[in-house]
Amino acid sequence: MDHTIAALAGLFMTAAIYMLLSRSLISMLLGLALLGNGVNLVIFVAGRLTRARPPIALDALAPLAGSANPLPQALILTAIVIGFAMFAFLLVLAYRAYQSLDADHTDTMRLAEPKGGPRPPLSY
């Protein structure tokens, strides 16, 4: 089970990096969401995945052998909420940029760099 989730996290990370390197704002946002999910899966695998034993046993004095660590699970729940809030904020920011600039592609959003303008110096 751990190997399958780790492979899925690697697939998420690969797809996220590919989407972040694109020039479209929407695919960049989706790549950022995939990257957050991939990181959450990596943290989840690091905390051991087990179905046989609960993460917290109320009647035991010491942690059960082979039980899952509850701390990564709590961190992932917090990261999901933060990631959703960040995605919602960036989605609104991208929508406002699309409304004001009438462009989704990052090359057409360059208002501060006119096409016929002077080039920056190559050395100082």
Contact 2, 43 (CB under 8 A): no
Average pLDDT (84-103) is: 92
Q: Give CA–CA dist 13/8, Å, rounded.
A: 9
Helix 25-46 vs helix 2-20: angle between axes, to the nearest 10 degrees? 160
CATH of 2-54+66-105, one of 1.10.3470.10, 3.40.140.10, 1.10.287.3510, 1.10.1200.10: 1.10.287.3510
Would you state the pLDDT for residue 45?
83
Is the pLDDT assigned to residue 33 strictly greater than 90? yes
Span of 47-51, 72-76, 116-120 with lowest mean pLDDT? 47-51
The Cα–Cα gap between 69 and 91 comes to 34
CA angle 94, 96, 100 (to 5 degrees): 120
Is 43:14 a contact under the CB 8 Å cutoff?
no
- Per the model's pLDDT, the better-predicted residue between 62 and 103 turns out to be 103
pLDDT of residue 51: 64
- Mean pLDDT, to the nearest integer, of 50-63? 63
Neighbours of 14 (CB within 10 A): 12
Q: Where are the domains of the chain?
A: 2-54+66-105
pLDDT at res. 55: 60
pTM of the model: 0.74
Q: Is 32 helix (H, G, I), strand (E, B) or coil?
A: helix
- Sequence length of the chain is 124
Cα-Cα end-to-end distance for the chain? 55
User: Given this model, what pLDDT does residue 123 score?
Assistant: 82
